Amino acid sequence: MKLKTKLSLGLSFLFAIILAFGILGIFYINRLSSDSAKVLRNNHESLVYCNNMLKALEDIPADSSAEKIFDDNLQLQEKNVTEPGEDAATIALRKDFTQLLSDKRPTGNYIRLRQGLQKINDLNQSAILTKNSIAQANAAHAKFWLTAIFCTLMIAGITFILNFPSVIATPVTKLSEGIKEIAGKNYKKRIFLEQKDEFGELAASFNSMAEKLDEYEHSNLAQLRFEKSRIETIINQMRDAVIGLDDKHNILFLNAVAERLLGLKEFEIAGKAAADVARQNDLMKTLLSEAKGELKIFADNKESYFDKDLLHVTSNGNIIGQLIVLKNITPFHERSEAKTNFIATISHELKTPISSIKMSAKLLSDSRVGAVNEEQVSLIKSIADDSDRLLKITSELLNLSQAETGNIQLKIQPSKPSAIVEAAVSATDFNAKQKSILVESHFEENLPEVNADAEKTSWVLINFLTNAIRYSSERSLVDIHVYRKNDRVFFEVTDKGIGIEEKYVSRVFDRYFKMPSGSGHNSTGLGLAISKEFIEAQGGTVAVRSEPGKGTAISFSLGIAS
């Protein structure tokens, strides 16, 4: 039987009990009310009429109105005859009353009238007693049956109340216990219910689930252990430090490298909250922070460099844990440092012979040293141009090595924006005139001084102007706009040249990047990268925007001198 059917039957049973008791109660109450009405209505009225006639009979000789009272009550009595013999007594009473009125000899008639009234009284009193006995018998009968029915219904109701909840509570309790066992990985737990309802079906489904889980546990346990062991072996063989956290930031594991860096053992902190460990370990505190970039850690008896990477472990779109990975970038850092030192050394060593070559080429071109033919003049010019280019490259490489090592020598002081711009325009004037390009400067009024190294800032602006002139067509215009915005002064160079494709805009400040167009074949790809380093070292920012075919606007900003 379905659970819904059981509930419906149980509730119907309770409703039937209430309905049956109500119907029986109403029936017996109506019956008692009817019996009482019978007792009080007709017979009582007859007694009242007889009493009224007795009083009027006493007053007839002295009061003429008494005859009418007697006659009125007699008429009412004639209409209220209900008991056997009462009709004959009433007719005799009427006859005697009529004779009393006609004979005017009251003595005998008075006696017969009193006897007739007494007889009617006796009949009605006897009827009242009889009906009262019947009513009491009916009341006792009703009391008996109502009491019996009430006791029966009460016993049935109590039995229902005590037994029916167990139909629901017992299987729910067993299912709850089974679920707790399954949650505790006791997959051998089974639930047995005799019921053929939804609870029985649920118990069968539960047993089927527990059986499948038991099979899965035993069939995959060895494989899972093998996979866990293999993963642990792989993680421990990694050169990178790996720290595993669960979704509540509790520590799950550390590999050997992480143990060595943290100075902790996995068995000591596994299961603990990472925040609690961080209170006692500065490196763990750093790893849990949002800080990014390189970390300098003393490891392997030397200062080592690590790059922190935070990986989220997800399942069905939900984050179930995190991995903190510290990649050892010390070898790359050492190679970079060696490269920087090599570049700085080579650049420094090359400057002297290149300067000598340039000076020798200049002396050869002087007619006072000796005459040269046209072919020799061309060769000397080529030597001088190549010397200039080599000298520029070595200067940029020296600047780059300073930027990479963080040894940029700055002389920051309050400087006028106009002086910085004039120095750059003057340095690029010859290149601009060669292409008939007009360079115009526009200054906002009342510009404040900026905190800057004027020489290096002019060098940056020279780079910007040189590129603008290089990529602009002949007889075009290059604008320099200098303006204030909030607490910063912006220097912006705008040209009407070929522009930069959108995919290359974000790369113009990368080292060694050259535009694929080939227009910058004489460029080293270092100028803008070094410019960015110089400006950021002064607390400024650089930016570029461009549209192919319409030109480029490149700018930097510096803080206002206080």
CATH class of the domain at 238-328: alpha beta
- What is the token pair recorded at 297? 């850690």
What pLDDT, on a 0 to 100 scale, did the predictor assign at position 237?
67
What pLDDT, on a 0 to 100 scale, did the predictor assign at position 435?
92
Would you say the CATH fold of 334-404 matches that of 238-328? no
Half-sphere exposure in the Cβ direction for 454 (13 Å, CA): 14
Rounded CA separation 103/112 (Å): 14
Angstrom CA distances, 74 to 59, 77, 84, 101, 114, stand at 16, 5, 18, 14, 13
CATH 1.20.1250 holds for 334-404: no
> Between 106-183 and 86-103, two packed helices, what is the crossing angle to 10 degrees?
150
Rounded CA separation 524/547 (Å): 23
Q: In CATH, what is the architecture of 411-559?
A: 2-Layer Sandwich (3.30)
Single pTM value for the model? 0.40
What pLDDT, on a 0 to 100 scale, did the predictor assign at position 131?
77
What pLDDT, on a 0 to 100 scale, did the predictor assign at position 201?
72
The helix or strand, by DSSP H or E, that contains position 556, with its residue range, turns out to be strand 551-559
From first to last of the 562 residues of the chain, give the pLDDT tens digit: 555 666 677 667 667 777 776 777 677 677 666 656 555 567 778 888 888 888 887 777 777 788 788 888 888 888 888 888 888 888 888 888 788 777 755 566 778 878 888 888 888 888 888 877 877 787 788 778 778 877 887 787 787 777 766 666 677 777 777 778 777 767 677 776 666 666 677 777 777 777 777 766 666 555 656 666 666 677 666 677 888 888 888 888 888 887 887 888 877 888 888 888 888 888 788 777 776 667 777 776 777 777 777 778 887 778 888 888 878 777 766 665 655 565 556 655 666 677 777 777 777 777 666 777 777 777 777 787 777 667 666 666 666 566 555 556 678 899 999 999 999 999 889 889 999 999 999 999 999 999 998 888 998 999 899 989 988 999 999 999 999 999 999 999 999 988 888 888 888 888 767 776 555 445 667 778 888 888 988 899 999 999 888 899 999 999 998 7
Count of positions (residues) in the chain: 562
- 511 Cβ neighbours under 8 A, 6+ residues apart: 400, 525, 526, 529
Question: What are the residue boundaries of the structural domains of the chain, listed by start?
Answer: 1-184, 238-328, 334-404, 411-559
What pLDDT, on a 0 to 100 scale, did the predictor assign at position 26?
76
**CA-closest candidate to residue 277, choices 311, 259, 255, 251:** 251
